[in-house]
Amino acid sequence: MISKDKKLIFIDIDDVIAKTSASVLDLAKELFNKSLKHEDLTSFDLEKTLNLSSSEMDMFFKELHNEDLLINTPLISDAKISLEKIKEMGYIIYLITGRLPSTYDVTKKWLKKNEIYYDFLYFADKYSRYPEKKNESHILSMDKLSDISFTLAVEDSLIMARWFSKRKTKVALLDNPWNREKTGESIKRCHNWNEVLVYLQTL
Ligand SMILES: [Mg+2]
């Protein structure tokens, strides 16, 4: 059990600590010969952004979960050192990803390879796309997630930022072309990890 005086922080993985958008761009070029830049990724819906048919999107989604690709995903600048600083600030770090649960082992390997500090790693069905309800210990239901009181959630997804906002949890939203819609009061737009740390120090 975690003592009540400990502060908890939720941190997403893709495009928060892992530069997954770089893999998306590489894969779009490799599979469909589409040359796009980061700034072109203006929607969280890649089928729309990349203008793919649903079968192309299925293939793309499958390849995005390929182990070789995942293990070689680069780090987001300053993510590693920022997590270490957050630990020093006394936070319990929950890494919570919406990746498919089948990527649990490779995700753990990637975190180890990059020497990322964290206390817990969970998979949560943020986007209602998990194939079936499984009772694996690394899967956290969205109900259970909403029971945890985080001081801050660090996300790049507007869907999740709004989900937390509704539950009165503060969010640091890492600014990206796919999340540039207007946001509410409890969502702080941050342009890099340094801005997240500065914001966290005010909470
Ligand atoms: Mg993400």
For 100-150, the pLDDT digits (tens) are 999 999 999 999 999 999 999 999 989 888 877 667 889 999 999 999 999
Distance 49 CA to ligand 1 centre (A): 16
Its pTM stands at 0.93
Domain map of the chain by residue range?
Answer: 7-19+75-200, 20-71
Q: Is it true that domain 7-19+75-200 has CATH number 3.40.50.1000?
A: yes
User: Taking all residues of the chain, what is their mean pLDDT, rounded to a whole number?
Assistant: 92
Structure tokens at 11: 């941190």
Distance 99 CA to ligand 1 centre (A): 9
Question: Is 94 strand, coil or helix?
Answer: strand
Distance 89 CA to ligand 1 centre (A): 23
The per-residue b/e assignment along 120-155, b for 16 or more CB within 10 angstroms, e otherwise, is: ebbbbbbeeebeeeeeeebbbeeeebeebebbbbbb
Distance 160 CA to ligand 1 centre (A): 9
